[in-house]
Amino acid sequence: MTEFRAETPDARQPSRRAVLGAGVGLLAGAGLARGVGARRVERGPGRARNVIFLVADGMSIGTFTIADMVMRQRSGGGPDAGSAWARLWGMPGVRRSMMSTRAADSLVTDSAAGGSAWGCGRRLTNGSICFDAQAGEIEPILVTAKRAGKSTGLVSTARITHATPASFVATVPSRNMERIIAEQELARGVDVLLGGGAKFFPDDLLAAHPDVEVVRDAASMRRAAASSGRLLGLFSDDHMSYELDRGDAEPHLREMSMLAIERLSRNPEGFVLQIEAGRVDHGGHANDFPAMLHDMIAFEETIEAVSKWAMARDDTLVIITTDHGNGGPELTVYKEDSYRAIETLLACRHTLSWMLGQLRSTPREEWPSGFRELVAQHAGVTLSDEEVEWALRPIRGERAHGFGEANTLVCSVGAVMANHFGVGFVSDNHTAEHVEATAIGPGAEALPHRIENYELHALMVNAMALA
């Protein structure tokens, strides 16, 4: 097959009818172009029965660093304090790599191109999911795994039809085609789907798949733990709540992940599971570090549980990474202010996004007093008149930042809160930074010290001997 070399965007896109027709006809993956990386990663001596792929979507290195600091400070230190991810690095057999993140048409990737690089092994244009205008649909890894008799699963705190989970199973020219993505996820036989996005699974679609058990809250999910067959958990119409704002009705990432593993591991042929902390990315777009922090800590708790499960056996490859950074948050104050900033972050009771959501239901003239009161009540911070004025400049159409990409309401609010949280952002966009990729288990030995994002696809395929 001809090597894919497209490095520039192609505006040619098929019609929705063509995509639907192709998607419905690909239940077993027939007719899909096979996805392989440009440089084949050599298969190691071990073979993985299972692959668990963990993604902290939109995790900049600053997000990782501050979460580690907060976890250490919260626990009082000790050998088991801080990041579970970082603790893995000192264990035998663990491999680390610096990974590129760029897309075919951009040095800064989006989650569709970033996830598709892993999902189908090709560098694609931003916005497309395992689909190239010239090559058409490219076989995603869950389709490959399903054809080999393996069980498959997707877990996310975002919509389960969102770009990153979709990139392991869907083939569409636009990530916005989430109703079609929902149809493909069900038609292609994904065994466990847990996350948000209920609005893309209408009753008629669910009725067409009577073999799928549907649960809609944490309690129902727990009751379904011992059942067999396919499971669809839809815990929100849209994205699930941020960890800091989440109530008892929505399960946490760790619980969803371990339930998925328990169900999928019943298959003697093994499984492939993607787990995404999707709202880390959304906190970056919102310049909302309390949101990023607590969702990142929830991801760390998930890493700890998943890695313990995997390391108790010898047949599971675990990969931990991110698709790109977002916002570039960094702790950037000195001396006592740096410690005080961590304490302030820990004291937050709700995210900045939640607070702004409360404001949006009130008249604009009430925003200054309302914003001040919400921040005082839920973040424990007293804002000055000048800070309130700066934060709300964009809603009056006034410029609040010299950098146009940061001249938004969320960026101005984030900049003002940096006076108290100590965390500054670059913008509300993704970043081009290289990112960490960690692997442990059979096949991990093939991870080089530097890797292109699309090469992780071949690493997984080779580890499971699916090539």
**Tokens matching residue 374:** 């919400």
Least confident span in 113-127, 278-292, 396-410, 422-436: 396-410
CA dist 293 and 67 (Å) reads 6
- If you average pLDDT over residues 43-60, what whole number do you get? 87
| Of 246, 253, 197, nearest in space to 54 by CA | 253
At residue 13, the pLDDT reads: 41
CA dist 108 and 456 (Å) reads 19
Count of all residues that appear for the chain in the document: 467
DSSP 134-165: TTEEB--HHHHHHHTT-EEEEEEEEETTSHHH
Per-residue pLDDT band for 31 (boundaries 50, 70, 90) equals low
What percentage of the chain's residues is helix, strand, coil (to nearest 5)?
40, 15, 45
Angle at which helix 178-187 crosses helix 16-24, to 10 degrees, equals 10
| Average pLDDT over all residues of the chain | 91
CA dist 173 and 125 (Å) reads 10
| pLDDT above 60 (res 43) | no
Q: Tell me the C-alpha to C-alpha distance, in Å, between residue 44 and each of 36, 145, 309, 458.
A: 17, 19, 22, 12
Per-residue pLDDT band for 36 (boundaries 50, 70, 90) equals very low
Q: Environment class of residue 10 by beta-carbon count within 10 Å: exposed (0-12), middle (13-18) or buried (19+)?
A: middle
| pLDDT above 70 (res 41) | no
| pLDDT above 60 (res 39) | no
At residue 12, the pLDDT reads: 34
Give per-residue pLDDT as tens, 106-123: 999 999 999 999 999 999
Q: Please state, as a whole number, how many other Cβ atoms lie within 10 Å of the Cβ of residue 138.
A: 24
Are 52 and 275 in contact by the 8 Å Cβ rule? The answer is: yes
CA dist 313 and 462 (Å) reads 19
Compute φ and ψ for 131, nearest 5 degrees. -145, 130
Give per-residue pLDDT as tens, 214-271: 999 999 999 999 899 999 999 999 999 999 999 999 999 999 999 999 999 999 999 9
At residue 467, the pLDDT reads: 76
CA dist 463 and 467 (Å) reads 9
Give per-residue pLDDT as tens, 123-178: 999 999 999 999 999 999 999 999 999 999 999 999 999 999 999 999 999 999 99
CA dist 124 and 127 (Å) reads 9
Residues pairing with 151 in the sheet: 271
At residue 83, the pLDDT reads: 97
| pLDDT above 80 (res 74) | yes
Per-residue pLDDT band for 75 (boundaries 50, 70, 90) equals confident
At residue 29, the pLDDT reads: 39
| Of 383, 379, 405, nearest in space to 394 by CA | 405
Q: Please state, as a whole number, how many other Cβ atoms lie within 10 Å of the Cβ of residue 399.
A: 10
**Tokens matching residue 322:** 């991110």
CA dist 287 and 90 (Å) reads 32
Ordered by where they begin, the domains of the chain are 31-328+429-463 (3.40.720.10), 330-424 (no CATH)
| Of 64, 70, 19, nearest in space to 330 by CA | 64
At residue 355, the pLDDT reads: 98
CA dist 98 and 449 (Å) reads 6
Task: State percent of the chain over pLDDT 90.
Answer: 88
CA dist 413 and 371 (Å) reads 10
| pLDDT above 50 (res 44) | no
Amino acid at 268: P
**Tokens matching residue 407:** 């001249």
pTM of structure: 0.92
Least confident span in 42-46, 59-63, 156-160, 408-412: 42-46
DSSP letter (8 states) at residue 194: E
At residue 1, the pLDDT reads: 28
Higher pLDDT, residue 130 or 34: 130
At residue 35, the pLDDT reads: 56
Half-sphere exposure of 454 (CA within 13 A, CB side): 24
| CB within 8 Å of 354: residues ≥ 6 apart | 242, 244, 245, 378
| pLDDT above 70 (res 9) | no
CA dist 110 and 127 (Å) reads 7
Per-residue pLDDT band for 77 (boundaries 50, 70, 90) equals confident
Per-residue pLDDT band for 78 (boundaries 50, 70, 90) equals confident
* b/e map 41-80, b = 16+ CB within 10 Å: bebbebebbbbbbbbbbbbbbbbbebbbbbbebeeeeeee
